[in-house]
Structure 1
Amino acid sequence: MRLNAYESSRLYKEKVKAYHDKKLLKKEFRPGQQVLLFNSRLKFFPGKLKSKWSGPFTIKEVRPYRAVELFDPQSETPDRTWIVNGQRLKLYHGGNIERLTTILQLQDP
């Protein structure tokens, strides 16, 4: 009975993995595209409503194994580049990124 449970569990895991892998979308990046960078280290800073996406940055070069070289077009030193994992990027479709700051005055009823 235990062997049957192990076997059915293994089959279930294989089916679930195949289902989720089928739903993944492959991202194709090209030099010159603008992207947003996901900041995973933001959790150490206070403020829940801070955006975890920064940018936009421009892709300078796409390297093997999803490594992408980025540069910031608005920085003072245009030769400063860095390499990030392509999984931390998403395409930027344009428009202004607004940082909304609203102060709400709460009153006791």
Structure 2
Amino acid sequence: MRRLNMDWNAAGRNRLMQLNELDEFRNEAYEKAKIYKERTKRWHDKNLSRKEFQPGQQVLLFNSRSKLFPGKLKSRWSGPYTEVTVFPYGSLELKNRNNETFKVNCQRVKPYLGDPIDQAKSIILLKPL
């Protein structure tokens, strides 16, 4: 009885409509994700500060490995270092006090605006010896 009442053509058309709707939903989700990514990239680029460095300028270097050593008040910036070369695509060649050179990513440095740091005076002991 069930086979006699089933219309195969109508069922086929209904299935094609469902597949087309599924493709439309997928395309719409793709377009919305693309718009969201464009807006997020625009917002990120707007809030990004560009750093311009020239050779001979002094900079401070961010030490990401200082997380291994305890001490909340310890500064994570070391230096100052002198820039030797500015490479394209955000890399720098720095020179330390011993005239040793090394390359770093531009995102790990910031311009140094102060006087030379005296390491002996910058250490403050909180416990008496």
**TM-score band, normalised by the shorter chain?**
0.7 to 0.9
Equivalents in 2 of 1:85, 1:8: separation in Å?
34
The size of the alignment, in residue pairs, is 100
Equivalents in 1 of 2:103, 2:49: separation in Å?
22
Gap regions ≥5 residues in structure 2: 1-21
1:20 to 28, 33, 44: 44
1:86 aligns with 2:106: yes
Deviations 1:32-68 (A, max 9, x none): 1000001111111111221111011110111222221
Gap regions ≥5 residues in structure 1: 105-109
Contact kept, 8 Å, 2:80 with 2:116, in 1: the verdict is: no
Identical positions, percent: 52
- Distance verdict in 2 for CA 1:7–1:102, change over 3 Å: farther
When normalised by structure 1's length, the TM-score is 0.75
Asked which structure has the greater CA Rg, the reply is 2
* Comparing 45-54 and 93-102, the one that deviates more: 93-102
When normalised by structure 2's length, the TM-score is 0.65
1:99 aligns with 2:122: yes
Give the structure with the higher percent helix: 2
- Between 1 and 2, higher relative CO (CA 8 Å, sep ≥ 6) is seen in 1
* Comparing 81-90 and 12-21, the one that deviates more: 12-21
